[in-house]
A and B are shown apart, each in its own frame.
Chain A
Amino acid sequence: MNGYAGNIVSINLSTRNITMIPTKKYEQWVGGHGMGSALFFDMVKDKTIDGFNPENVITLMSSPLCGTLVPSGAARTEIQGIGVQSLPIGWFTRSNFGGRFSSMLKYAGWDGIAIQGQADSHVWIDIRNNDVRIRECDDLDLWGTDTWECQKTIWKDVAGKGVYGDWIKINEKGDMTTQRPAVLAIGPAGENLSRMACLIHDAGNGAGQGGFGAVFGKKGLKAISVIGTGSIKVNNPKALMQSRLWLKQEYQFDLKDLKFNTFVMGFQSPPVPMALYRFGKPRVGQRPQACVGCTAGCRGRYEDGIGNEAICYASLFYYLGKTHLIQRQAADLINRYGLNAAEMFVGELYLRKLQRMGVVGKGKEIDCPLDFNQYGELAFAEQLVKAISFRNDGKGNPHPFGDILAEGFVRAAEKWGRLEGEDSDLKTGLLKFPHWGLPKHKLERSQLDWGYGTILSDRDINEHCFDMLRAFPTYFKQYGKTLPPSEGVVQAITDKMEPFQGDMKMLDFSTENMYSDHIIKLVSWHRYYTRFWKQSAQLCDFRWPDFLNLYGPQQTGATGIAEQRFFNDVTGKNFSFLDGINLGKKIWNLDNAIWVLQGRHRDMVQFADYIYTKPGTTPSGYPEYMPGIKNGKWDYVITSGRHFDSDLFENFKTRFYKFQGWDEKTGCPTRKTLESLGLDKVAEELEENGKL
């Protein structure tokens, strides 16, 4: 099994049993998400349990590519289980983080971890090669620490008498490395079961969605540390090296010939931190910082040590912080306390609106201990973060505000009575949580792949595959730059979308095409591609798929050629790009079956009310442009300012389910479809539970 460590470690915190599962048993799923879903399906007999139930299983999976030389495909860790963040229930969901955890896990000899049960004391898991132990937090005073303190304390413990900077002996056998353990930790937010609690690895690798920080907290699990000194065998070392250099030569940014000096998607991107602070990129000495094996780091470390590795939503949180420094310090706060940056960003702006409306404040309708006179100062952000993390007033005193908000902004709004009647904040759009009780990301009424993909699954998909079709046209129009003809762009991309290649109308984002069968194919392809190549093979979302590339031949990217090339170099299999798409379809079906077993019905698949009545607008006020057909010709068309139509969306769902081979009335995968995918036992469990 080239590319694999060979075993998955299963840890039951209730019984404190540690057992091994041969990876071979789940090899058909390859790794990552597919393997995690299959493990979850087998291990959790009652899928209707709540995420806080001890029987909930959390899987952390690598892939055969992790820890190898596959470019921007060697570092992700997929985490799955029943979450506690979404509504109306916590769906079986996923999150994912980068860094060096999955690679280190494999060097230690493990392809993944499955955690079940609930410890009767606060514990952490210490993995040193094949030695896996459940250890007490009390011994190191870990419980109560923030995510950074926790990691540093564990580093020191693992080093023993050694000193980092030299070779470290990690066990009595004398296994040695210069590397620090890779630690995944929760902060106070997770300990106190905030549904917004995330997991943090190193300074800024976060698994935010799903509230897995709270699930860890409920299980009494503070952290998982892993250090390994073993190796991963690859099928063809020479070929892998040649492939890596081929990609570098043909597709990777070239410092001698820079096409961009900012972060962009794909391999054409130079190594630039994707810091989205209101004041721009930090203007202090810095380096780019990359996950294991990445071509271009998307994070930074800074000479003042502030905001290390904070990007994307972490850098957006506290967008109205008064200074650059305050914004960066606030990003550190949510990473250290372990909070979901996306929900904190959108939620904090909601709070500010309520305060300006006179609803929130000391002694107001919603009694709030925050001093809004300090809004923009670090003290305000710190009090907010602490209030949610400790479920109090943010200054150590009991207060319902933090306790309510720790449940998440939609649950808090409901508790505050703001979701009742025609003025509900989810009808007016004041509360921008458009799907599954989760915060807005992209404009779902504009970026249809994103909007449909999210509502037809379980969470904000956060998959940027087609995001460049919004980003480039929108910014180019805004700044008056010349765009390449959209028809050529669309053709180059759709040519790679096997097995639907050639259907250019998959990328027609015009209003006339919003509910078409072509868009159904786009959404389907996206579900299949990401379920396998991104979330199971674990290629990075920021670099894959590489559709368009100014360095590539005819300015096309590596996708469709590179995925399987690297996969086969490592594993020795004769796997095609389409094999990956087909396996992605199988995994997508398994996930949907799990959701049905949890209680999903097509009637629940609904956006928040405002999505059907309010036009989608951008924060900047500038319109969004995407490729589309206008007056019979390909162009870039305005895609913001429109809303979904409820009836047309229902019809879209019906045709989407039919396209998947599912029951159009319920949205449940059918026996015929499941059996055609080799998911017979899944069909049986659905039938046993009255779903078929």
Chain B
Amino acid sequence: MKPKISEENGLSRRIFLKYTGTIVFAMGSSGYFLNECGAKEDGSEIAISDGYLVVDVEKCQGCISCMMACSLVHEGAISPSFSRIQILQDSFKKFPDDLTIEQCRQCEEPACVAACPEGALTAEAEFGNVRMVDKEKCTGCGSCFLACPHTPARLSVVEDETFNRELKSLKCDLCANAPHHWDEKGGGPDGKQACVEVCPVGAIAFTRKLPAQEGKSGYKVNLRGENWVRLGYKNS
């Protein structure tokens, strides 16, 4: 019953799970593992990020414009699977459990950075210490994906057309390295983030203050305000 597949589609596809077994083996044999303090095995400290995304899950209207904008400015194409921020929703559930926003936390102690066996995940001062992927170095092994302690993992691994469909990790960089960024000044902590700018209701915000690392409350905040209440929504 399968149709013939047209290669015209040019679709990149996530095939990461096929490699899961390989990744586990590689991690074990190369000695890379998650250090409790988040530092790399060589003991070097990772500076905290200059910026973070915080979200209001009760304000979100589920339009996934943030996901499309994220994918667009980074990949030049639109796919929910390319997005570094994920909106997950269930039409049939009760508010507010019907929807959540899961964004990269730019962790103070980033397990993904620590886990990368290639040194492809770094926090460079010139990019505001945002934890970001160097695609030239990334081998798509998925160590970062597995190391991320959050659900869903805030990274993904996809076939990258600009790298001859090799597997590459995708991770939020606050648009610091977004090839299709719309603004001349670009993104990153000192620039504009696509998801923040595009959200019609202001359910995503940028902050320079390090959110509380334990639990979700530091990253899931109240961004509503008086006029949101005027529209008939609760503010608490």
Check A18/B9 contact, CB under 8 A, given A255-B202, A271-B201, A293-B64. Answer: no
Check A255/B201 contact, CB under 8 A, given A203-B92, A297-B63. Answer: yes
Is A271 touching B231 in the complex (CB atoms < 8 A)? yes
Is A241 touching B73 in the complex (CB atoms < 8 A)? yes
Most central of B18, B182, B228 by chain A CB within 10 Å: B182
Q: Which of B127-151 contact A (CB under 8 A)?
A: 151
Is A231 touching B180 in the complex (CB atoms < 8 A)? no
In the complex formed, the residue of A with least CB distance to B71 is A231
Q: How far is the CA of A233 from the CA of B82 in the complex (A)?
A: 12
A476 at the interface (CB under 8 A from B): no
Q: Which of B2, B12, B79, B95 contacts A131 (CB 8 A)?
A: B2
Smallest CB–CB gap between B47 and chain A, Å? Answer: 29
Q: How far is the CA of A449 from the CA of B22 in the complex (A)?
A: 64
Q: How far is the CA of A302 from the CA of B92 in the complex (A)?
A: 10
Q: Which of B10, B69, B232 contacts A241 (CB 8 A)?
A: B69
Check A231/B79 contact, CB under 8 A, given A164-B90, A169-B17. Answer: yes
Smallest CB–CB gap between B145 and chain A, Å? Answer: 9
Q: How far is the CA of A177 from the CA of B153 in the complex (A)?
A: 11
Check A245/B78 contact, CB under 8 A, given A255-B202, A258-B227. Answer: no
Q: Which of B60-110 contact A (CB under 8 A)?
A: 60-65, 68-69, 71-73, 75-82, 86, 88-96, 98-100, 102
Check A165/B152 contact, CB under 8 A, given A5-B9, A255-B228, A302-B94. Answer: yes
Is B60 touching A287 in the complex (CB atoms < 8 A)? yes
Q: How far is the CA of A1 from the CA of B10 in the complex (A)?
A: 11
Is B182 touching A238 in the complex (CB atoms < 8 A)? yes
* SS of B interface (majority): loop
Check A174/B62 contact, CB under 8 A, given A164-B90, A238-B182, A255-B225. Answer: no
Chain A residues near B77 (CB, 8 Å)? 231-234, 237
Is B5 touching A272 in the complex (CB atoms < 8 A)? no
A572 at the interface (CB under 8 A from B): no
Q: How far is the CA of A134 from the CA of B90 in the complex (A)?
A: 25
* Chain B proximity mask over A218-260: 1 for CB below 8 Å, otherwise 0: 0000000000011111100111111011001000100110100
Q: Which of A269-306 contact B (CB under 8 A)?
A: 270-272, 281, 285-297, 301-305
- Chain B interface residue count, CB cutoff 8 Å, equals 73
Smallest CB–CB gap between B79 and chain A, Å? Answer: 4
Q: How far is the CA of A270 from the CA of B230 in the complex (A)?
A: 11
B58 at the interface (CB under 8 A from A): yes
Check A69/B72 contact, CB under 8 A, given A232-B79, A258-B230. Answer: yes
Identify which of B32-40, B192-200, B211-219 touches chain A. Answer: B192-200
Q: How far is the CA of A72 from the CA of B106 in the complex (A)?
A: 31
Check A179/B91 contact, CB under 8 A, given A130-B3, A238-B181. Answer: no
A309 at the interface (CB under 8 A from B): yes
Smallest CB–CB gap between A207 and chain B, Å? Answer: 16
A6 at the interface (CB under 8 A from B): yes
* Chain A proximity mask over B19-34: 1 for CB below 8 Å, otherwise 0: 0000000000000000
Smallest CB–CB gap between B117 and chain A, Å? Answer: 21
Smallest CB–CB gap between B138 and chain A, Å? Answer: 17
Smallest CB–CB gap between A3 and chain B, Å? Answer: 10
B6 at the interface (CB under 8 A from A): yes
Check A233/B65 contact, CB under 8 A, given A109-B9, A178-B86. Answer: no
Is A303 touching B96 in the complex (CB atoms < 8 A)? yes
Chain B residues near A22 (CB, 8 Å)? 6, 8
Is B61 touching A290 in the complex (CB atoms < 8 A)? yes
Ordered by A's residue number, 29 sampled pairs between the chains whose C-beta atoms are within 8 Å are: A6-B6, A22-B8, A67-B68, A129-B11, A151-B92, A165-B100, A169-B17, A173-B18, A176-B156, A177-B80, A177-B81, A229-B14, A231-B75, A233-B10, A233-B77, A237-B73, A237-B77, A237-B180, A241-B69, A244-B198, A245-B197, A248-B200, A270-B231, A271-B61, A289-B61, A292-B68, A301-B99, A305-B95, A308-B92
Task: List the interface of chain A (C-beta within 8 A of B).
Answer: 1, 5-7, 9, 16, 18-20, 22, 67-69, 74, 100, 107, 109, 129-134, 148, 151-152, 164-167, 169, 173-180, 202-204, 229-234, 237-242, 244-245, 248, 252, 255-256, 258, 261, 270-272, 281, 285-297, 301-305, 308-309
